[in-house]
Amino acid sequence: MRMTGIKTTAERKRGLGAIFATLALALCIVVTAPPAEAKTSDLFGYKATPYSGLKPFPKWRKVLATYKDRPGDCVSGKYNRCAHQKWVALIDEWRSLPKDEQLNKVNRHMNLFRYILDPVNWGVRDYWEIPKEFFARFGDCEDYAIVKYFTLRALGWSAKDMKIVVLQDVNLGIAHAILVVKYKGKDLVLDNQIGQVVDATRIRHYRPIYSVNELGWWRHKP
């Protein structure tokens, strides 16, 4: 198991097709939905313009429709299926912690799981997992962001304060996905490549493309 979730350059190059397919979808969207809010906001120095509706994102809509599906029995096998039950227990354990500590616990724990590319894991270019699939088969960057999102939701965090952000890592020249959480007026980044929760203002090499949550989506532009 790769304890940090950090990928090699070769692995990430092989995974470009998966996330760039998603990026291409977002970049080609004809915006017809009215803005969900009247104003824009900033992330990594880019303006985020909000839109209502999730029609352009079928994989995310499928996740939202199925993420509460229960896993099978806890059995031994190739994958750690019992980790889902441990996840449920950890949510109960973390529920009474201060919010900043919840963020750190969630980020650190999920980053312990192995990184694996969608073509290897699922035989398709791009697949967005629900938590039980992540714990059964591990996942790639958007899957870390998704399981962190639903863990925080189970801990009582509001959907309006969280976004799954698909972006370009300018340093490595590859696509990536993270979870950004609004807390105490700051955008905090939960990233499978970074062991700690960090303020988005400290990161200079991410160029956001779009972000999404249960309530809508945002297009990011300079």
Going residue by residue through the chain, which has 222 residues, state the pLDDT in tens, using 9 for 90 and above. 333 444 444 455 445 444 444 443 333 333 334 444 434 568 999 999 999 999 999 999 999 999 987 766 666 544 566 888 889 999 999 999 999 999 999 999 999 999 999 999 999 999 999 999 999 999 999 999 999 999 999 999 999 999 999 999 999 999 999 999 999 999 999 999 999 999 999 999 999 999 999 999 999 999
Which token pair is 153? 């939701």
In a domain, 103, yes or no: yes
In a domain, 16, yes or no: yes
In a domain, 3, yes or no: no
pTM for the model stands at 0.82
Strands 206-212 and 198-199: unpaired
In a domain, 169, yes or no: yes
In a domain, 126, yes or no: yes
pLDDT for 7 equals: 46
**What is d(CA 203, CA 115) in angstroms, rounded to the nearest whole number?**
22
In a domain, 4, yes or no: no
Cα 216–Cα 45–Cα 159 angle in degrees, nearest 5: 25
**What is d(CA 37, CA 52) in angstroms, rounded to the nearest whole number?**
9
In a domain, 204, yes or no: yes
Domain count for the chain: 1
The candidate with the shortest Cα–Cα distance to 177, out of 143, 127, 139, 202, is 143
Tell me the residue range of the domain where 88 lies. Answer: 9-221
pLDDT for 22 equals: 43
Q: What is the pLDDT of residues 149-176, one digit of tens each?
A: 999 999 999 999 999 999 999 999 999 9
In a domain, 97, yes or no: yes
The candidate with the shortest Cα–Cα distance to 13, out of 173, 192, 205, is 173
Query: Which phi and psi angles does 6 have, rounded to 5°?
Result: -80, 135
pLDDT for 29 equals: 35
Cα 185–Cα 187–Cα 192 angle in degrees, nearest 5: 150
pLDDT for 115 equals: 97
pLDDT for 80 equals: 64
Q: Tokens 């999102």 correspond to what residue?
A: 149
**What is d(CA 19, CA 59) in angstroms, rounded to the nearest whole number?**
12
**What is d(CA 165, CA 212) in angstroms, rounded to the nearest whole number?**
7
pLDDT for 168 equals: 97
pLDDT for 34 equals: 40
Domain at 200, CATH number: 3.10.620.30
